[in-house]
Structure 1
Amino acid sequence: MNNRIMENKRINGNDLIALGYKENFALGEALKINKKRLGFTREQMIVKFTEVLTNPDAYLEDAIFQPLVAALLNVDEVAKNVITLKEGKQAYKIYGKEQIEDGALLQMDVAMKLPVAVAGALMPDAHQGYGLPIGGVLATTNAVIPYGVGVDIGCRMALSIFDVPEEHLYVHHDFYKKVLLDHTKFGAGHGYLKHERVDHAVLEHHAFETNDFVRQLKDKAWTQLGSSGGGNHFVEFGIMEFKESDMALGIEKGRYVALLTHSGSRGLGATIADHYTKLAKKVCQLPYEAQNLAYMGLDTAEGQEYWLAMNLAGDYASACHEVIHEKIKTALGAERLAMVENHHNFAWKELWKGEEVIVHRKGATPAAKGVLGIIPGSMATAGFLVRGKGEEAAIQSASHGAGRLMSRTKAIKTLAPDALKSMLLDHGVTLIGAGMDEAPMAYKNIHEVMAAQEDLVDVIASFSPKIVRMADDGSRED
């Protein structure tokens, strides 16, 4: 292998284990040090890690490696306070297993060993994340897991179906494109200037007065109210097709112009997630392989604080979608036939087999019997309006989308821009923003994903994207 490539290749956990490190908190400290890119070559870092492991006393005063030395010398002491996981592999239902990577399966296996875990399920769009895999559903007893909820708390889909025939979108394409450009803003950290901001009842939410930490987030929340995140978040116009009339929604068979949005709780939710994940790890020490699943009891002050903050973030995410949809509805001057909204990256109090549990859906859609949900594909593939069947084995859940087939890094390195342009042209899609990491080829086949969950939802209508806006600054907030 080329020496320059070897020097730049980052050391990983397997490399450290090969040197003799154990899978415990010392390994975690070593990986933290390695991430800092301290100016050493890969081979020099290997030598340093070997020396620290062999003779930790020599590095007691070393500014770089002292945290690793402390972890190595206190492994036994730390272990005394670590919560013991359940033994053996606990059963859980997997949908579309052939499409799910091993990393996600391993993460779900670990989650099911938590002492508070009651039941679990893995959706067909699942892929590896932090803590609970994305697409993972986990029911616990009286405990909430910040990384079981996710970083973008309350991330959701919102759909407005307008009393506008599909031809209007094609004839007035440039008008619809301008509406998106004029009334949406994207990207991590981006928001509105003071004279552009809108007011909403969520800003008066009592949870903003919970404590000083949450209180100081209010201005950031106001700044970003009505904006969308980076990564896979979008605002798009498309065609909604009902092959049969839906009496519950009051929509007749036909094809309509619709607005579909995907975003979450922006900086508010991300800051809450980071703060309470760190707090959970302090009060709940788990074995190394499970440390990102640190939980807080709902009978503790910390657990109650997070629960209030999580629900605030969820209400705020909903308010962001409401602002976007109202702005665009006003700009169109259209009548709305129906609006449907559902969220993921959240925890709910629900009954499961007669017992109250906390159901974490990290990248999974609620699908209780009769509950409406939206499962999108990608910027150029179909999405679906669905109605839940209440399947107990899935803990009344379904997928939240197609799910990633490849990492963002791999997509950027391997997918061709010309292939994306050709696919967009074939599907009649106008794209504003986004990068190759969001190309449809980076996602699983949505039709295969839907086929794997026929027991979980009924399809009510399909959505075909036509004008799609996403972040174009490379930010990630999903």
Structure 2
Amino acid sequence: MAHTKIGGKTLLEIGYPQTPVFRTAMRVMEADFSHLSQEEAIELLKKILADPAAYVDDPVLGTIAEQLLQPVAPPEIELRATPVPYTVYGKDYIEEGAIRQINNAVRLPVAVAGSLMPDAHQGYGLPIGGVLAAENAVIPYGVGVDIGCRMCLSILDLPEHSLYTNEAAYVKELTSHTKFGAGAEWKKREADPVLERSEFKDIRFVRNLLDKAAGQLGTSGSGNHFVEWGIVTITDINNEWNLAPGNYVGLLSHSGSRGMGAQIAGHYTQLAKELCPLPKEVQHLAYLDLDTEAGQEYWLAMNLAGDYASACHHLIHKRLIKATGATLLARIENHHNFAWKEMYQGKEVIVHRKGATPAGKGVLGIIPGSMTAPGFIVRGKGEERSLQSASHGAGRQMSRTKALASITPQELNAVLQEHGVTLIGGGLDEAPGAYKNISTVMASQTDLVEVIGRFIPKVVRMADGGPPED
């Protein structure tokens, strides 16, 4: 009787995956089971495939079973040959690396449209200042490491002159009621509804982050995160708060979701890379399908981190407003590291804004400058080509390494003195010279937002230097 020989075609028909198990199964069947008929050999292979765990301890068939039980890596996903449309604002001021990154992003199979803001510079995955609309998919590194990083401005009834005549009190309260740095926590923990959210129980990975989140609530990160007192000038007579045009004391903060957001970003980025293998040059753009459990988990965790970031700002502002005896007249705030479900050309898409301010028609936002340059209160114009987005700041023109190497403490102090700014903490990597000219950036996006007010920093609190969290 002729020996039975199992080939690759037969294994495919049975349903075996095209992995090393192919070669192993053919070798084992030829060496130890060639005496079986074709039908008997196929039946045995079907049984192993149906329940490989039952054969793991078999001295011969166990090698087939073990390889069937190993996770199968999905094939590498190909990029589009032709990118989807995208618009670049302020191209003359944007480094080549950021342009290259947005070029790659708009070639993803899920990409619908893209845009690059005038403050853009190179990051991981999407560039900082990158905006990408995707179809039913979310990119963890399209949101960023510091999920929900945001701006919050409180306009107060304190007299403007008090910033000059009573600066020491403003410095004291800012020092006493803020904490900065990667591991910063408050000894006395505050209660907040965000800590009672069901996601802390329902999502296994997030469960372990509750204690860290509780300790860091109401603190700020390192890098470019800040809390500062300054002068708000309202220029629009038809503003949303019915405030008389003129000057007010303002409290402005910039930070995100702290250690909790960073760990969520890291965990789901790694998961996305495993589930969505992309070519090496775009591996940080790995995405999660929103119809999958992993995609839904990340979406819920991202929204939790965004709400947590908002709660951090509100607690910081609450403490400082209470300490100064001020009354809140108006508040403007916005995320700039997040993903939203929005409509684009009549279709729901997921809009990722990594370092970009939402600028839908009539939507208010804040675009800061630097520790000495003005920030701007803006109203969005709803420009479709920018995916209803604007810049999130001035944007870096020097890397942190270059800034540390080229800016001296004496130069920083001279700039601070020239602008009448008192700095508490802060590293040379955050010196004003490390940033683009905010006026140039704003001039590049007049189609995207209208300016309705300004903020001039006067007393600035930052961490003592170190890597950024966004």
Band the TM-score falls in, shorter-chain normalisation? 0.7 to 0.9
Q: Which residue does 2:365 correspond to in 1? A: 373
CA contact (8 A) 2:222 2:462 kept: yes
Shift of 1:89: 4.1
Match of 2:104 among 104, 110, 122: 110
1:167 aligns with 2:161: yes
1:184 aligns with 2:168: no
1:386 aligns with 2:351: no
- Report the TM-score, using the length of structure 1 for normalisation: 0.82
Q: Which residue does 1:152 correspond to in 2? A: 146
Q: Which residue does 1:318 correspond to in 2? A: 310
Shift of 1:99: 0.4
Distance, in Å, in 2 between the alignment partners of 1:413 and 1:170 is 33
Q: Which residue does 1:428 correspond to in 2? A: 420
C-alpha distance 81-244 of structure 1, shift in aligned 2 (>3 A): closer
Distance, in Å, in 2 between the alignment partners of 1:181 and 1:242 is 27
- Report the TM-score, using the length of structure 2 for normalisation: 0.84
SS of 1:245's equivalent? coil
C-alpha distance 80-475 of structure 1, shift in aligned 2 (>3 A): closer
Q: Which residue does 1:223 correspond to in 2? A: 215
1:453 aligns with 2:445: yes
Unaligned residue ranges in structure 1 (runs of 5+): 1-77
1:101 aligns with 2:131: no
Q: Which residue does 1:137 correspond to in 2? A: 131
Shift of 1:394: 0.4
CA contact (8 A) 1:187 1:475 kept: no
Give matches, 1:62-461, under 5 Å: 81-193=75-187, 196-461=188-453
SS of 2:267's equivalent? helix
Deviations 1:122-168 (CA, angstroms, capped at 9, x unpaired) = 00000000000000000000000000000000000000000122101
Distance, in Å, in 2 between the alignment partners of 1:169 and 1:306 is 43
Unaligned residue ranges in structure 2 (runs of 5+): 1-71
Deviations 1:61-94 (CA, angstroms, capped at 9, x unpaired) = xxxxxxxxxxxxxxxxx99810010003443100
Shift of 1:209: 1.4
Structure with higher Rg: it is 2
Deviations 1:245-275 (CA, angstroms, capped at 9, x unpaired) = 3442221111110000000000000000000
CA contact (8 A) 2:289 2:295 kept: yes
Distance, in Å, in 2 between the alignment partners of 1:173 and 1:245 is 29
Shift of 1:219: 0.5
- Provide the aligned C-alpha RMSD in A: 1.2
Deviations 1:103-134 (CA, angstroms, capped at 9, x unpaired) = 00000000000000000000000000000000
Shift of 1:473: 4.9
Shift of 1:422: 0.8
Q: Which residue does 1:469 correspond to in 2? A: 461
**Which residue type is aligned with residue 443 of structure 2?**
A
SS of 1:199's equivalent? coil
Aligned length: 399
Distance, in Å, in 2 between the alignment partners of 1:90 and 1:358 is 15
**Which residue type is aligned with residue 243 of structure 2?**
I
**Which residue type is aligned with residue 197 of structure 1?**
R
**Which residue type is aligned with residue 142 of structure 1?**
N
C-alpha distance 170-107 of structure 1, shift in aligned 2 (>3 A): same
CA contact (8 A) 2:239 2:452 kept: no
Give the % identical residues: 64
Deviations 1:372-414 (CA, angstroms, capped at 9, x unpaired) = 0000000000000000000000000000000000100000001
Distance, in Å, in 1 between the alignment partners of 2:382 and 2:83 is 26
**Which residue type is aligned with residue 178 of structure 1?**
K
CA contact (8 A) 2:74 2:275 kept: no
**Which residue type is aligned with residue 360 of structure 2?**
A
Shift of 1:416: 2.1
CA contact (8 A) 1:90 1:109 kept: no
Distance, in Å, in 1 between the alignment partners of 2:265 and 2:458 is 34
